[in-house]
Structure 1
Amino acid sequence: MPPFSDMPVELLLDNIFPLIPTPDLLNLCCTSKFFALLCSDDILWKRKLRADFNFSGETTARTSGWKFIYRGLSQPKAFVWGQKANGRLGLSRFPTTNSPGVPFPTQLRIPGVRLVNLVAGGMSFHALDSEGNIHVWGTLDGNTMALDSDGYSEPGKSSNTPLRLDMPTASRSISCGRLHSSCLDHKNKIWTFVNWGRPFQLVSPLLEDPDAIPLQIECGWTFSSLLTKAGDILVWWPFSGRMQENIVQKNLEMDQDGDKKATAREGVIPCVTWSLELDPVRLPPIPPLPELPHADDEKTQKTQLIQIAAFESHIIGLTNRGHVLKFGLIDDETTTARGRWEYLPQFSEVDLVREHPTFSGDNGDRLTPPETMQITHISANFKHFIAYSTGASSIVLMGDTNTTPNTVPEIIPALQNKAVISVVLGDYHNAALTAGGKLLTWGAYSAGALGLGDPAELEPGTPGAYAIARGGEPRRRREPPAVQVPTEVRFDHGAKKPKDQFCFAATAAGWHTGALVIDLDPNDEEERIESEDDEPELEIRDEPNQWESPPIIPFGGVFRVGHAGRGNFGRGLRGSIFSSLGSGSGGNPTAEK
C-alpha cells in the first residue's frame, strides 16, 4: 500500500479522511505542511459535521468556515427571545425587564444536549441535537386548550421547558408551519406532527419511486411539502380533506387507550407513532426557462428545482441555475394545487436587478450595482419570501404572496454586499445572518422579537428603543417603533464586559426568535450582572399582553449518527482536541468569501 502522501488528493478527501476518527485526523495534521493543508479542506469538515454532529448547515448559504463551526459545536449555546405566551421560549425563569416579552437574547439551557439546529413554529420551537433527537417547547397549536391531565396527544398541550420526543429513528431535518411540523429521518421517512404525541409517517407509492428520494422537507403556513432529488414537489394538507379525516378518526381510536395519550415522563414525550396511507399531490413541472449568464454554468446540466420555501398558500422554487419561481394558490380547503408556476425575472436576472432604484437612482447614497448575480438560497414565512445570493457582494431581495413576474423586489440597502448567508422571517420581524457570525434584525418590535435590548434601557430614538415625543421624553406607553435599518443583536446582555461571540444559525416565526451561538473566548470566566440562576422564578402566563394582536386563524463513518454508534463522538472527545482545531484554514470565522 503506497504512503498517504502518494495517494491522489481526491481519494484522501472523499474516501479515506471521512472515515478517520477526528483525534487521529488532527494528529495527521501535525505530521507535515501537506497534511496540515489537506486536513483543513472545507468540504471534509462539512462532511464530518454531518457524520459526527448531525449538522448539515443546509438552511444557510455558508460555503466556508466549516472547520471553525466544527470546533465550536463542542459547546454551542442556544438563545431565545420575544413573546413569552404559550411557553414558547422554554425558559423556567425570565430575566427582569421593564417591557413586555423578553427583548434581548436569553440563554436556554438543556443539560447534556448539543443542539445543532433550531426551528421556530408559530407558537413553539423545535430543536435538533447532535444525536438526531428532536426537542420541543411552547405550544404546537395555541388556538386550542388542554387540561393539566392531558397528554401530548392534544395539540394545545404546552411545555414551558424543553422536552425530548421519543421517536423510532434519528432525525436529520425539521421544518415548522404555524400549527404543525414535519421532519425527515435518517431512513428518509417523512413524519408529520399535528400534536407532539402522535406523529404519523406518510406512506404512499409515490414516495417509493427511486426518483422520489427526499432532498428537502418544507412546511408552509398550513401544509407540508417535499422536494425530491429529481426536482419534483409533493404537497399534503394535515388540516384539510381526507388527511384531516384520517387523523381525526385515528385520534378517536387511540383516545380509547389510556397508554396512548403521550404523557411526558422525566423530560420525554413517548411518541405513539402510526402510518397514514395517502398520496400527496404532485405539483406540475416547472415551465421552460430562459438561460441565465453564469460563468460556472454547465450547459449540459438539466435545469431543475434544488430548493423550495413555503409560506401562506404559496411555494417559492429555486433552480440550479438561479431561476426564482412562485407557485400559488395551494388550496387548503380542497387540497388541490390550482395555481401554476410563474417565473420571477425581477428576482433572477442581474440586468433587471441593476435597474432597481437602489442601484440606479440619482441620489448620492445609491449602491454600486452587481456585475454578476446568481440567487443561491430562498426562505419564506407567513406572507413574505426572500431570495438571496452569496459572497461579499451578496444581494437580498424581498417579495410577498402578491408578487408577480413584473413586481420589483423590495431591497434594503443596509443588507446588500454584507456576505449574508441566511435570512429568516417572523410574522412581522426579520433577521439576517452574515458569514462573519453577526445577526441583524429589523421590523416590528413584536414583544421583543428583535432582540435589540430593553427599550426602556436603550437610548430613546435608537433602534429598538422608544420613540422621542415632542417634549423630548420617550413615549414609553406605546410600542417602540419598527426598526427600518437592520441592526446587530448582541448575545452578551448583562455581562460585565463585552464577549466575543459568533452566531452560526438563526430562526424566527410568530413573535419570537432563536439563535445558536459559539463563544469565541470560552476560557474566560463567565461573569454576568444578572444570570438566569439569580432571577426570581416568574409565572408563565398565556394571555396576550396589551400589544398583542388577535390570533390569526389559519384558513459510513466511525462516529456516524444513527443506531448503535450514535453519540460516541460527544462522549469520547475532550476540550484539548477541539482547541487544536483552531489552526489552519477555516479557523477564522471572518475569513468568509
Structure 2
Amino acid sequence: MNIEQLPIDILLYHILLRLKVTSLIQLSNTCQLFYRLCNDESIWQYRVTIDFSLPMNTDRLKYGWKRLYIQLDCAHTYTWGENSDKRLGFNDQDQLERDTFMRQITTPRELRALRGKGIINIVAGGWSFHALDRHGDVWMWGWMQPKHPFTNIGMISQTLVRKPTRVQFPLDDVHIISIASGRSHAIALDTLGRVWHWSNCWQPKQVIVNKTSTQKFIQITAHWNSSAILSTKGELFLVPFPNVSQQQTMIEDHPIITCSSSPFIQIAGTEKCTIALTQSGRVFKFWTERHDEFIRMPEKYTIELIHFNISSSSSSTTPVLVNKKSILLSAQSRHFAICSQGKVFIGQQDGDEHHVPQILDIMNHEICKVTFGDYHFGALTTQGRLLTWGRYSSGALGLGYDHSNINQTRPQLVETLNNMFVFAIGFGSIHSGCLAIPRHTLIQQQHV
C-alpha cells in the first residue's frame, strides 16, 4: 500500500501532525493530495500551538492558521516602563529613538534589534528581559543583578547588557523550548529534556538530578532566587540559585515532591512559592522560599488551595482528569492565576488554605493568559488584545503619562497596540514586554 492510499484521518492526525514545518512544505510540493492536506487548517492550528505556545481555544480561525503561523515568525518585540538603567534594551546610538534616554517609557516601544529574529516568547526578571526565538536561542538584555547603590554597577561582576545578546550555552546541541525568569536568574528547558540556569548570560549551567538517571523534564518555573522543574513522571524537583563557582548544579540528593493521588501536570512560581496543578484538578502551594527547611520537612510547608481546585462538571464520584490544554497556570512576583474555560482566578502567594480567589471579570473579553509585575498586572485576550491594571509602576502599565497618579483598578486596553495582534506577554518588577504582529496582515483568510 502506498502512503497516498491511507485514510485521510490517518494521514492528517497521525502522520502530518508529527512533521516539522520544513517537512510539511517539502511534502506539499510532491502532489495535489499532499498539497491539500499539508495546507489543512487543523495542521497549522496545531503548529501554531506547539511552536508558539499559544492556546488552542484562541479566536484566530478567521485569520487562517497558516497565515497566522507565517506572521508569528516575524513578530515585533515591545518593551516599556522603567528605563533609567537602560533595562528596556534600546540602543543609545539609535537616533530614531529620541527619548531612549528618558527614565520612563510609558507606552509600548518596539525593540527593533529583535526584528526578524523569530521571537516566540518573552519573560521579565527583576531588572531584565529574556526572549526565546523559534530556533532555540535565548536572548537577554538589562541587568541580571541589581546595581550597587554606591558604585552604580551590577553586583557579582555583572555589567549592563545594553542590547539583546544571545545566552552562551556551553554545548552546541542546546536548543531551548521554554524559558522562565526569577528576580535575578533565569532557567530554560531544551529539546532533549535537559535543564539549564544562570545568573549571568555568559555562564549557563546544566541542572543534573542524577548522573545515572534518564529523568527528563517537561516544565520549568522560577522563584525569587530558586527554581522548580517538573518531570515527565509528574514529579517536582527544587533547584537552588545558580552557583557561579560550580560547572553544574547537582540536585541528586534532593527528595522529589509528589502528590499521592495524582501526578502534577503544571507548575508556576511566585517569589516564594511553587503552585502546582494535579491531573485530577487539585491545586497545591509549596512554600519553597526556605529551601533547606522545605527539603527536610516538605509537609510543613505544603497546603492545598481548595478554593482553586478545578472541579469536574460530572456527577460521577469517580475523579475526572482535567484537560491540561484547556487550563493555564501562571505566576510571577506575588500573585498567581488559573485560566480555565474563559474564567480567570487570581490568588496571592501569602494566602492560606482558606484563600478565596479573586475572579477577573472583563466584559466582552476571553482571557488566555495573565502576568504580574510587582504592582502592575496584565491580561492577554484570545483576540490578541492586551489589558493592564494596577499602579503606574514607572509607566509599566503602558497607558501613558496621564495615568501616573492613578491606581488603575479595572483592566484597561493598551490602546497603542490596537493595530497589533499581541500573542505573548511578560511583566517584571516595574517594566513590561510583549510580542505582537500587525493586524492588517491577518485580515484575509487564504492559503499562503
Q: Which residue of 2 aligns with 1:136?
A: 140
Q: CA deviation at 1:349?
A: 5.0
Cα deviation 1:502-534 (Å, max 9, x = unaligned): 111111111111111011225xxxxxxxxxxxx
Counterpart pick for 1:220 among 202, 220, 223: 223
Q: Does 1:127 align with 2:131?
A: yes
Q: Which residue of 1 aligns with 2:413?
A: 488
Cα deviation 1:344-378 (Å, max 9, x = unaligned): 221125599xxxxxxxxxxxxxxxxxxx9997111
Q: Does 1:282 align with 2:255?
A: yes
Q: Does 1:171 align with 2:176?
A: yes
Cα deviation 1:524-558 (Å, max 9, x = unaligned): xxxxxxxxxxxxxxxxxxxxxxxxxxxxxxxxxxx
Q: CA deviation at 1:442?
A: 0.7
Kindly report which structure 2 residues correspond to 1:133-532, keeping only aligned pairs within 5 A, or say none: 133-144=137-148, 154=156, 156-167=158-169, 168=171, 169-205=174-210, 209-210=213-214, 212-238=215-241, 244=243, 247-248=244-245, 250=246, 274-279=247-252, 281-288=254-261, 303-332=262-291, 334=293, 336=295, 338-340=297-299, 341-348=302-309, 376-390=327-341, 394-414=342-362, 418-455=365-402, 465=403, 479-491=404-416, 500-522=419-441
Structure 1 residues 95, 208: closer, same or farther in 2, change over 3 A? farther
Q: CA deviation at 1:96?
A: 4.0
Q: Which amino acid aligns with 1:323?
A: R
Q: Which amino acid aligns with 2:430?
A: W
Does structure 2 retain, via aligned residues, the 8 Å contact 1:153–1:198? no
Q: In 1, Cα distance between the equivalents of 2:98 and 2:40?
A: 41
Q: Which residue of 1 aligns with 2:75?
A: 76
Q: Which residue of 2 aligns with 1:15?
A: 15
Q: Which amino acid aligns with 1:85?
A: S
Q: In 1, Cα distance between the equivalents of 2:428 and 2:28?
A: 39
Query: Could you say which structure has the greater relative contact order, defined with CA pairs below 8 angstroms and 6 or more residues apart?
Result: 1
Q: In 1, Cα distance between the equivalents of 2:89 and 2:168?
A: 18
Does structure 1 retain, via aligned residues, the 8 Å contact 2:75–2:116? no
**Which secondary structure state, in structure 2, belongs to the residue aligned with residue 166 of structure 1?**
coil
Does structure 1 retain, via aligned residues, the 8 Å contact 2:46–2:56? no
Q: Which amino acid aligns with 2:53?
A: G
Cα deviation 1:39-77 (Å, max 9, x = unaligned): 334355434775xxxx3406x575674535312124210
Does structure 1 retain, via aligned residues, the 8 Å contact 2:287–2:294? no
Larger radius of gyration: 1
Q: CA deviation at 1:313?
A: 2.1
Does structure 2 retain, via aligned residues, the 8 Å contact 1:322–1:376? no
Does structure 1 retain, via aligned residues, the 8 Å contact 2:425–2:433? yes
Structure 1 residues 490, 24: closer, same or farther in 2, change over 3 A? farther
Q: CA deviation at 1:87?
A: 2.1
Counterpart pick for 2:53 among 51, 54, 57: 57
Cα deviation 1:162-198 (Å, max 9, x = unaligned): 1122322221211100011111122322111022222
Structure 1 residues 320, 61: closer, same or farther in 2, change over 3 A? farther
Q: In 1, Cα distance between the equivalents of 2:446 and 2:5?
A: 21
Q: In 2, Cα distance between the equivalents of 1:316 and 1:147?
A: 37
Q: CA deviation at 1:84?
A: 0.7
Q: Which amino acid aligns with 1:235?
A: L
Structure 1 residues 68, 420: closer, same or farther in 2, change over 3 A? farther
Question: Unaligned regions of 5+ residues in structure 1, if any?
Answer: 251-273, 289-302, 353-371, 456-464, 466-478, 493-498, 523-578, 588-593
Q: Which of the pair is proportionally richer in strand?
A: 2
Q: In 2, Cα distance between the equivalents of 1:411 and 1:282?
A: 35
Q: CA deviation at 1:405?
A: 2.6
Does structure 1 retain, via aligned residues, the 8 Å contact 2:146–2:155? no
**Which secondary structure state, in structure 2, belongs to the residue aligned with residue 336 of structure 1?**
helix
How much is the aligned-residue C-alpha RMSD, in angstroms?
3.6
Q: Which residue of 2 aligns with 1:471?
A: none
Does structure 1 retain, via aligned residues, the 8 Å contact 2:237–2:257? no
Does structure 1 retain, via aligned residues, the 8 Å contact 2:419–2:439? yes
State TM-score, norm by structure 2. Answer: 0.82
Cα deviation 1:366-391 (Å, max 9, x = unaligned): xxxxxx9997111112211111213x
Q: In 2, Cα distance between the equivalents of 1:335 and 1:343?
A: 16
Does structure 2 retain, via aligned residues, the 8 Å contact 1:42–1:64? no
Q: Which amino acid aligns with 2:346?
A: M
Q: Which amino acid aligns with 1:313?
A: K
Q: CA deviation at 1:279?
A: 2.5
Structure 1 residues 140, 98: closer, same or farther in 2, change over 3 A? closer
Instruction: Using the aligned pairs only, state the percent identity.
Output: 27
Does structure 1 retain, via aligned residues, the 8 Å contact 2:27–2:35? no
Q: In 1, Cα distance between the equivalents of 2:376 and 2:201?
A: 27
Kindly report which structure 2 residues correspond to 1:11-50, keeping only aligned pairs within 5 A, or say none: 11-16=11-16, 18=19, 21-24=23-26, 31=32, 36=36, 39-42=39-42, 44-47=44-47
Does structure 1 retain, via aligned residues, the 8 Å contact 2:288–2:294? no
Does structure 1 retain, via aligned residues, the 8 Å contact 2:28–2:35? no
Q: CA deviation at 1:137?
A: 0.4
Q: CA deviation at 1:21?
A: 3.5
Q: In 2, Cα distance between the equivalents of 1:312 and 1:153?
A: 20
**Which secondary structure state, in structure 2, belongs to the residue aligned with residue 87 of structure 1?**
coil
State TM-score, norm by structure 1. Answer: 0.64
Does structure 2 retain, via aligned residues, the 8 Å contact 1:441–1:450? yes
**Which secondary structure state, in structure 1, belongs to the residue aligned with residue 362 of structure 2?**
helix
The count of corresponding residues between Structure 1 and Structure 2 is 423
